[in-house]
Amino acid sequence: MNREWLDQFEAISRDAAGAVARWKEKSGGKAVGWMLTDVPEELILAAGALPVAVLAEGVTLGVADKHFQGFACSYSRSVLELLASRRLSYLDGIVVPYICDTTRALDLVVKHHRFLPFTECLRIPKSTLGAGALSYYRQELLRLAASLAGLTGTYPDQARLREAIQLLNRVRDRLERIRRLLRDRPGLLSASEYFAALRASLALPKEEALELLERFLAEAEKRVPVPAAGPVVILAGKVAEPPALLEVIESAGLQVKEDLLVLGGRYVTGGVDAKLDPLEALARRQLQQWPMVGVWDHRPRRADFLLERIAAVGARGVIFLIQKFCEPWEIDYPGMKEALDQAGIPSLRLETEYQMGSLEPLRTRVEAFAEMLA
Ligand code: SF4
C-alpha cells in the first residue's frame, strides 16, 4: 500500500467543499450533489453544473435524529445530518435516487425542510425487464433534465450530453483500469488505494479526476509487485465503509481481487454507449448494469453473477459488507448465502456503520475468517 497516494486520495474526498469552491470561482456555475447510487452524473454535467457525490464519511450524528428514525441506515442519516446542519451549503441542490424505501422517505424530508434550494428525486426503474423499462426511464431522465435546466438555465441537449458521456466514460475507463490492476497484477496496489481513488474521483470536477487517475495509473503500473499469497476474496454489498475496514481485511492477509460493491465495481464498469441517442444510452446503461438488490429480475441473477465472478478470479470466500438497518441488502443476504453454501463457498457477513467507533470486533472476525480460508 502506498501511503502517500492513499493520504492524497483521502484528503481530496474529505474536501469536496474545497473542490466545489475552486470550481465555482472559475466557472460561476452551480454544484449539484447526488446521493448514492445510480444518479447519471452526465445529466448534471450536461446541464452545466458540477456533479458531486455525497459520500458523507466521518459524520457524527446529532440533529439528523430529529428528522429521521434511528433505525434508518447510517448513510441516509449521515446525509441528513449534513443537510440539516447546513454543512452541504456549498451545494446548490441535491438529487436523491429512489433505490429503497429509506431514500424515498429521505427525499420527502429534505424537500419539506428545503435544506437546499433545489431537491430532486430520481425514480429509477424497479424492473430491468421489458421494453417498458427503457421508455419509462428515458421519460424519467427527460423530466430530470428539464428540472436541472430550471436550476442552471442550461438545458442538457444532445451535444452537451454527448460531451458529458465521453468525459464520464474516460473517467470510468481509468477507474476500471485501476480495478483490473488489482485483479490481474496481485501485489501491485491495495484495495484501499483503489477504493480511495474512486472516492476521490467522485469529489472532484471530472477533468481533474481524470488527470489524477492517470497520474496514479502511470505510477502504479511501474511498481514492483509485493508478493501476495493470502486467500483471495470478493467483496459484495453496497459500500466499503468505513474505509479503514479495507485495511482490516487486507492486513488479515486476505487478497481482495474483485469487488461487486455498488460504490465499486458496479459504478466503475460499463460505460455509456456514445453512439446511441444520449438519453437512450443512459437509460440502457442503467438497465444493463450489474444486478442490484431491489431491482426486479425474474432470474436468480445476483447469486449466479456472484458465483460466476468467484470462479473467474479463483476466490476462496466472499465478504458481505452490509450496513446496519439496510433493509434491501439484509433481505437479500440469506438467499445469497444459501447459494454460496450450496456451492461450498465460505462467506462472512460484516455489519457496518459509517460511525463505527472501533473496528476491533470486526478485525477479530475477519482474522478468524482468513485463518479458516488459509
Ligand atoms: S444503505 Fe441501504 S437502506 Fe441505506 S440508502 Fe443505501 S440501500 Fe437504502
Q: For residue range 172-206, list pLDDT tens digits in order.
A: 999 999 999 999 999 999 999 999 999 999 999 99
- Predicted local confidence at residue 292, as pLDDT: 83
Give the Å distance between the CA of 35 and the centre of ligand 1.
Answer: 10
Q: Phi and psi dihedrals of 241, rounded to 5?
A: -130, 140
Is the sign of the CA dihedral 234, 235, 237, 238 positive or negative? negative
In a domain, 355, yes or no: no
- Predicted local confidence at residue 54, as pLDDT: 97
In a domain, 233, yes or no: no
In a domain, 302, yes or no: no
- Predicted local confidence at residue 228, as pLDDT: 77
d(CA 211, CA 198): 13
* pLDDT of 268 over the 70 cut: yes
- Give the closest residue (by CA) to ligand 1 atom 3: 326
- Whether this model's pTM surpasses 0.75: yes
Question: Which residue shows C-alpha cell 508478493?
Answer: 227
Omega into 102 within 30° of 0, i.e. cis? no
In a domain, 293, yes or no: no
Give the Å distance between the CA of 240 and the centre of ligand 1.
Answer: 13
Give the Å distance between the CA of 178 and the centre of ligand 1.
Answer: 26
CATH code for the domain of 118: 3.40.50.11890
Cell representation of residue 156: 442538457
In this prediction, residue 129 has a pLDDT band, given cuts at 50, 70 and 90, of confident
In a domain, 319, yes or no: no
d(CA 177, CA 268): 9
Mean pLDDT of all residues in 100-119 = 96
In this prediction, residue 293 has a pLDDT band, given cuts at 50, 70 and 90, of confident
- Predicted local confidence at residue 326, as pLDDT: 95
Q: What is the pLDDT of residues 46-104, one digit of tens each?
A: 999 999 999 998 899 999 999 998 999 999 999 999 999 999 999 999 999 999 999 99
354 or 22, which is more confident? 22
In a domain, 280, yes or no: no
- Predicted local confidence at residue 229, as pLDDT: 79
- Predicted local confidence at residue 300, as pLDDT: 67
Per the structure, the complete domain to which residue 46 belongs is given by: 27-159
Q: In the predicted model, what is the mean pLDDT of the chain?
A: 94
For residue 352, with 0-12 CB atoms within 10 Å meaning exposed, 13-18 middle and 19 or more buried, which class applies?
A: buried
In a domain, 13, yes or no: no
How many H-runs (helices) and E-runs (strands) does the chain carry?
Answer: 16, 8
Q: What is the pLDDT of residues 136-183, one digit of tens each?
A: 999 999 999 999 999 999 999 999 999 999 999 999 999 999 999 999
- Give the closest residue (by CA) to ligand 1 atom 8: 100
> 190 and 9 in contact (C-beta within 8 Å)?
no
Q: Which atom of ligand 1 is nearest to the CA of 294?
A: 7
Count of domains observed in the chain: 1
DSSP-based three-state secondary structure for 93: strand
In a domain, 209, yes or no: no
Give the Å distance between the CA of 76 and the centre of ligand 1.
Answer: 7
**Identity of the residue numbered 239:** V
Question: Which residue shows C-alpha cell 440533529?
Answer: 63
In this prediction, residue 45 has a pLDDT band, given cuts at 50, 70 and 90, of very high
- Give the closest residue (by CA) to ligand 1 atom 2: 326
- Predicted local confidence at residue 362, as pLDDT: 93
- Predicted local confidence at residue 263, as pLDDT: 95
Is the sign of the CA dihedral 305, 310, 313, 318 positive or negative? positive
Distances (CA, A) of 157 to 135, 139, 149, 153, 162: 18, 14, 10, 12, 9
The CA-to-CA distance between both ends of the chain, in Å, stands at: 22
- Predicted local confidence at residue 227, as pLDDT: 80
Rounded to a whole number of angstroms, the CA Rg of the chain reads 20
- Pairing mode, if any, of strands 118-122 and 255-261? unpaired
* pLDDT of 132 over the 80 cut: yes
Give the Å distance between the CA of 177 and the centre of ligand 1.
Answer: 28
- Predicted local confidence at residue 185, as pLDDT: 94
* pLDDT of 1 over the 70 cut: no
* pLDDT of 298 over the 70 cut: no
